[in-house]
A and B are shown apart, each in its own frame.
Chain A
Amino acid sequence: MDVGELCLFFALILSSISTLAFISGSKRNDVKLLKIGEKSLHLTTAFLTSSLFILAYYFIVDDFNITYVYLNSDLYLPLAYKISAIWAGKEGSLLLWVFYVSLLSSVFINVEKKDINLAKSLTVVSVFLTSLILIMISTSNPFTRLGYVPANGVGLNPLLRTPEMVFHPPTIFVGYAATIFPFAVALITHRFKRGWILFSWLFLTIGIFLGAWWAYKTLGWGGFWAWDPVENASLLPWVTLTATIHLMNKYKKEPYFLIVASFILVIFATFITRSGIIKSVHAFGETLFGASYLILMVLFSGLSIFFYFKNGGPEQNQGRNVGGILSNQDVLRAFLILMLFFVMAVLIGTISNIFAAIKRSYYLTTALPIFGLIVALIGVCFSSKLKHSILVAMVVSTIAFIYKGFVGALAFFVSTFSIFFLLNVGKLNLQKIGKILVHLGIILLFLGSTFVWVYEVKHENVVLEKGESVKIEGVTIRYDNIFLREDNEKFTLVPLLTFNNDQIVLKQFIYKIERGERVVNNVNVVVTPFFDYYVALKGISENYNSIVIDFYIVPLTSFVWAGFYLLMIGGYFALVRKS
């Protein structure tokens, strides 16, 4: 048996011990048993850390006898990508997720007050951790070996050879892993751990941003969000966590079910991406082991309903008024309903992907208007100068109507109206600044994404013959020349283009690996303040005399990125406020 595998088995045994120790320890209030539980949980973390490092070692020394290394790496892969290849596949990313859950449990033990409630919460956590390790060992063990030693690996998927993909999985999995803790605490105490919820939210935000940024820069379809099931699956827990954050200080019942939903949706995301149930272009693997995640979802949903009734009915706190048009309570209720509508719309679209392809128009007619209404609520909640904000919003939206049309006008009306919340922020502190930035970010994100989704101009399969100028959308593009480069890992074809009066390059990488997908075409984005010229290479003819490109004009992407930055910075401020 492999050393790494051995570590996984030890981790499984130790986390089972900790589960048993926490269960009987918290029942009898036996401190000795609880100590054993804590110790074995820490040891579980140590063993999982070791197996992660062992896997990293196999990647670094090119041990292609390990199936997972063989499938995701090769001799000439740069070191940074050899390390990121750890989470490039199903097995490694599960190991990463499990590692985070156990590492954060160790942190959780050390930062939280040690009492009977912590012990009970840890029972929930260790049950989850043990099931994950069990699933990993039985269905996606990263340490299985081939019967022979191949001379070289098949290489890392070329699309994953980007800096964004080095960081995207490690961040989003922190967010996923952290949801178990506020979930477990809510189950036991009906209390909401602000710090853990915000922590998880922040990492999901960063992860989603990195994924969107990567898609825009790498995939060449001129957008940052395709409403793909995998993307949707990561968005859903983010939305329910956002709703939890808004309601957790005012209510008991609603945030309880929202945090439960967030955790279940995290498992759902794993299920969607790993089960292979979605037979679309974006599906992950082909295994049907996804069933184990369904069982987890049922198990933990059942637990949460059980604890809901066990710990007695909820008490409701009343919200305080912050001086908007409607009472704070009305706004929160409307907010909750809209957030649930949003989740419903995206969830139904995602599940329908199992049976059929869902066009973007579905999301644009359901989720997007709901998003708009949610953004409008920011204004409704905080605006004290109603007349002014409506007046200014009308002027701005008239201009938008002239330039872009009805949807653009509507989006600008809502955003301008809501941005007046800035006039009513009151006394500032770090947490308040964080809140302001996040809400500003959401408004920008709404405006930007509406424009990207609705007003993107697209010219597909534009053929450029060498030396001939083509004029599209007021832009002159000419394919001038082509160069060929070679290094150890790939050939690179570099067509030189004149874009208006500037020179830009496109690149086609042809990797020297034995994979189905060896050829990657890159994208060049010419950024202007209000729109991007987006040139994606599609193909190069055999005699190099012509190239094919897709040409997009993508409006207000800068708003989308700015919105994401504000969300991340604001989320960070809200998290580190002095408590």
Chain B
Amino acid sequence: MENREKLLVGVAIISFSLAITFSLFHSISPYTTVSDLVELRNAKNIQVVGEIVKNSVVNKNNTTIFEITDGVNEVKVIYSGKITYYEGQVVVVGDYKNGVIYATQVLRKCHTEYRVGGQ
């Protein structure tokens, strides 16, 4: 490689790495556990991982209220939509205010989850 070409490639690599780093920091939102959450009072744009507490799901007028747990603490979730599953691990996306998560999205473990049922 000629020197000029080397320089060009070097500049490209450096600027691309910067772009990736910059973009990553703007697109990342860390997972929170329920126990992390109860120590906070308010939090915006969080992703909370937890198990749905059994028999806690109430669907009413297209709003769903349920609780999630990490095995230690539980927290109430109000979701302005319907969910059609009643157990298992979910990721709740939304804001946390006065002990309640106001969810904009509830994601569940998708098709690729393997261990269900018996074990």
- Chain A interfacial positions (CB closer than 8 Å to B): 67, 70-71, 89-90, 146, 150, 154, 157, 159-160, 165, 219, 230, 273, 279-286, 333, 337, 341, 344-345, 348-349, 352, 355-362, 365-366, 460-461, 463, 508, 514-519, 521, 538-539, 541-542, 546, 548
Q: Which of A359, A360, A517, A546 contacts B116 (CB 8 A)?
A: A517
Interface centre among A230, A282, A352 (most CB of B within 10 A): A282
> Which A residues touch B13, using CB under 8 A?
337
Asked, given contacts A71-B118, A281-B91, A461-B80, whether A348 binds B110 with beta carbons under 8 Å apart, the answer is no
Decide if A538 touches B91 in the complex (CB within 8 Å): no
CB distance from A104 to the nearest CB of B (A): 25
Q: Is there an interface contact between A517 and B117, defined as CB atoms closer than 8 Å?
A: no
> Which of A341, A361, A514, A542 sits near B16, CB closer than 8 Å?
A341
Knowing that A154-B116, A539-B59, A539-B82 are A-B contacts, what are 15 other residue pairs whose CB atoms are under 8 Å apart, sorted by A's residue number? Answer: A157-B116, A279-B49, A282-B109, A284-B112, A344-B20, A356-B29, A361-B23, A361-B26, A362-B23, A362-B26, A365-B23, A515-B117, A519-B84, A538-B82, A539-B62
Interface pair A366/B23, CB less than 8 Å apart? yes
Given A357-B28, A366-B19, A516-B117, does the pair A281, B62 have CB atoms closer than 8 Å? no
Q: Could you say which residues of chain B place their CB within 8 Å of the CB of A89?
A: 114
Q: Check if B113 is an interface residue, CB within 8 A of chain A.
A: yes
Whole-angstrom distance between the alpha carbons of A333 and B84 in the complex?
51
Residue numbers in B under 8 Å from A345 (CB-CB): 20
Which residues from B are CB-within-8-Å of A517?
85, 88, 108, 116
Name the residue of chain B whose CB is nearest to the CB of A154.
Answer: B117
Tell me the B residues contacting A by CB distance below 8 Å.
5, 9, 12-13, 16, 19-20, 23-24, 26-31, 47, 49, 59, 61-62, 80-91, 107-119
Q: Are A285 and B30 in contact (CB under 8 A)?
A: no
**What's the least CB distance linking A558 to chain B, in Å?**
25
A365 to B108, CA, bound (A): 26
Contacts of B111 in A (CB 8 A): 157, 159-160, 165, 219
Residue from B62, B86, B89 with most neighbouring chain A CB atoms (10 Å): B62
Tell me, in angstroms, the Cα distance from A365 to B91 when the chains sit together: 25
CB neighbours (8 Å) of B89 from chain A are 281
Contact call A284/B20, Cβ cutoff below 8 A: no
A157 vs B28: C-alpha distance when bound (angstroms) = 31
Q: Is the CB of A281 within 8 A of B108?
A: yes
By secondary structure, the A interface counts as mixed
CB < 8 Å: which of B5, B19, B109 contacts A281?
B109
Q: Which of A219, A355, A463, A516 contacts B88 (CB 8 A)?
A: A516
Contact, CB under 8 Å: A283 / B113: yes
Give complex CA distance A576, B25 in Å. Answer: 46
Report the minimum CB–CB distance from A56 to chain B (whole Å). Answer: 19
Is A357 in contact with B29, judged by CB distance below 8 angstroms?
A: yes
Q: Within 8 Å CB of B47, what residues of A? A: 357
Most buried by A among B5, B89, B115: B115
Residues of B within 8 A of A341 (CB): 16
Q: Which residue of chain A has the shortest Cβ distance to B106 in the bound complex?
A: A281
Q: How far is the CA of A273 from the CA of B83 in the complex (A)?
A: 25
Q: How far is the CB of A538 from chain B (nearest CB, A)?
A: 5
Judge whether B91 and A356 touch: CB under 8 Å.
no
Q: How many whole Å from B44's CB to the nearest CB in chain A?
A: 15
Residue in B88, B112, B116, B118 whose beta carbon sits within 8 Å of that of A273 in the complex: B112
**Contact residues in A for B87 (Cβ distance below 8 Å):** 516
Sampled A-B contacts (7; CB under 8 Å): A89-B114, A159-B110, A282-B112, A284-B114, A337-B13, A358-B27, A365-B27
Q: Please indicate the chain B residues that have their CB under 8 angstroms from the CB of A159 in the complex.
A: 110-111
Whose C-beta in chain B lies nearest to the C-beta of A150? B118
Residue among B9, B31, B82 facing the most chain A CB atoms (10 A cut-off) = B82
**In contact, B107 and A514 (Cβ under 8 angstroms):** no
Interchain CA distance A219-B110 in the complex, whole Å:
9
> Which residues on B sit within 8 Å (CB–CB) of A463?
62
Give the CA-CA distance A388 to B86 in the complex, in Å: 60
In the complex, are the beta carbons of B117 and A514 less than 8 A apart? yes
CA A230 to CA B109, docked complex, whole Å = 13
The list of the 8 closest CB pairs from A to B, nearest first, reads: A539-B82, A154-B117, A362-B27, A359-B27, A519-B84, A281-B107, A356-B30, A159-B111
With A282-B110, A539-B82 known as contacts, the answer to whether A352 contacts B62 (CB < 8 A) is no
Given contacts A283-B112, A357-B28, A358-B27, contact A539 B84 (CB under 8 A): yes
Residue ID in chain A nearest B21 by CB atoms: A348
Neighbouring A residues of B29 by C-beta, 8 Å? 356-357, 359
Contact of B115 among A285, A333, A348 (CB under 8 A): A285
**Residues of A with C-beta under 8 A to B49:** 279
Task: Report B-chain residues with C-beta under 8 Å of the C-beta of A361.
Answer: 23, 26-27
Q: How far is the CA of A548 from the CA of B61 in the complex (A)?
A: 10
List of B residues within 8 angstroms of A541 by Cβ: 59, 61-62
Given contacts A281-B90, A283-B113, A348-B20, contact A516 B85 (CB under 8 A): yes
Set of chain B residues within 8 Å of A283, measured between Cβ atoms: 109, 112-113
How far is B118's CA from A146's CA once the two chains are assembled, in angstroms?
10
